[in-house]
Amino acid sequence: MLKVSAFFLVFFYQCFIFSTYLLKNKTFNNIKVMNVEIDTPSDMSNFYKSIKYLVIGPDKKIEGYSCLRDITNDICIDYSTISKRLSDSNPCICVSKITNYVFLIIKTDIL
C-alpha cells in the first residue's frame, strides 16, 4: 500500500511541475495561453466597434485605438498631423520626428 501511495505522490508532483512549466512558458501544444478579457460574442462585438484606428508599427505589431490622442501618446506623432494625413489618404504612413519610426495608420471605417 505504501508503494502505491508513494507512486501517486510522485506522479502528482511531476504533474504539478509540468503544469508550472506550461504556465511559465505560456504554451501548450503550440497554443499560446492568453489573458482572456473578452468572454462573450457581445463583448467582442463591443470591442470591435470601439476600435476606430489601427496602427502598424516598425516592429510589425498591430494595435487598435479608439482615438487619435491615444495614438499620439504612444507613437509621438501629433494627432492633428495624423488627422490631416488620413483625410488625404487612408491608410497613411507617418514618421515620428522624435524617434524616426515609421507607422502605418488606418482609419477603420473602411473595414
Q: What would the pLDDT profile of 94-111 be if each residue is shown by its tens digit?
A: 999 999 999 999 998 754
| Pair (54, 28) in one structural domain | no
- Total number of domains in the chain: 2
| Pair (19, 45) in one structural domain | no
Give the residue numbers spanning the domain of 74.
Answer: 41-110
The answer to whether 71 and 105 have CB atoms below 8 angstroms apart is yes
Q: What would the pLDDT profile of 11-39 be if each residue is shown by its tens digit?
A: 555 655 556 655 555 555 666 666 778 88
| Pair (15, 50) in one structural domain | no
| Pair (70, 93) in one structural domain | yes
Beta strands in 41-101 (DSSP E): 53-56, 62-65, 92-95
> Residue 35 has what pLDDT?
74
Q: What would the pLDDT profile of 78-95 be if each residue is shown by its tens digit?
A: 999 999 999 998 899 999
| Pair (19, 61) in one structural domain | no
